[in-house]
Amino acid sequence: MVKFINLILSIVVISILYFAFSKVVLAVDCLNINPNTVSSGDADFCMAELEKIKNQYAPAQEKNKQDLAKLQAKVNDLNKRITSMTIFLKNLELDISKREKDSAYAQEILGKKAVGQYIDIRLYDPVLSILSGDDALEVFRIIKIREKVADADRKTIKRYSEEIIKLKNDKLNLEKNKASLAVLQKQVSEDAKFLAGEVAKVETYLATLSAKQQSFLAQKLESLGLSRSAYNMKGGCSS
């Protein structure tokens, strides 16, 4: 929020400078006057005035360029994170699908096994087996083994179910985080796009000022009968 406010303030400052100095320039006609119609003194005056305007814009423009670079870096980082999350989500979906298939297969196998055990239990009378068996301890051992197997089967199904639930929760949380990042990425992209437009406007305006300076300089050199190199050697403006 603070960065956004600073961004707005920078833009406001540039806008104020733009309108304020546009009026100053218009007052002396340095932007609108034909350089070929001015005297050497007027050319010097306009070149100096245009340079002042450029210098006034420079700090705010430099700050905006730095802010724009930071915003663009943030957009790039968010894009990378969203791409990474998208890939991770796809892998997670494949993992969930595999776990669900494994669970369904396990349930099918254990279900058939449970049916067989149910039939055995219905046909098996442990009391009768104990009474008729030669070794009661062996009968008890078999009963215990069956109980352990049934308990292990239940734990297997439970483990599959818990793993699938955990994976689905992970997927849900990741989708929420991805959605939040997408919202932030959109906002930062819009801020960067807006600021890039403002920076481009000022760059265009500064380029216009520089071109106008060059026109005044060319007229001054022509009126003095000097080449650009000779003028620079005498300490003239080389802007």
Q: CATH number of the domain at 138, please.
A: 1.10.287
What is the per-residue pLDDT for 198?
94
What is the per-residue pLDDT for 154?
77
Residue type at position 14: I
Whether residue 197 is contained in a domain is answered as: yes
Domain boundaries, position 214: 2-233
- Residues 122, 188: Cα–Cα separation, whole Å: 69
What is the per-residue pLDDT for 201?
95
The alpha carbon of residue 110 and the mean position of all alpha carbons in its chain are separated, in whole angstroms, by 48
Whether residue 175 is contained in a domain is answered as: yes
What is the per-residue pLDDT for 36?
87
- 32 is written with which tokens? 């609108």
Contact by Cβ (8 Å): 64, 14: yes
Residue 99 makes CB contacts below 8 A (sequence gap 6+) with 160, 163, 164, 167
Whether residue 239 is contained in a domain is answered as: no
Burial per residue of 13-24, b for 16 or more beta-carbon CB atoms within 10 angstroms, e otherwise: ebeebbeebeee
Report how many domains make up the chain.
1
Whether residue 180 is contained in a domain is answered as: yes
Whether residue 193 is contained in a domain is answered as: yes
Q: What is the DSSP letter of 126?
A: H
What is the per-residue pLDDT for 108?
78
Burial per residue of 173-189, b for 16 or more beta-carbon CB atoms within 10 angstroms, e otherwise: eeeeebeebeeebeebb
Whether residue 182 is contained in a domain is answered as: yes
Whether residue 238 is contained in a domain is answered as: no
Instruction: Enumerate residue ranges in the chain where pLDDT < 50.
Output: 12-13, 17-27, 231, 233, 238-239
What is the per-residue pLDDT for 189?
92
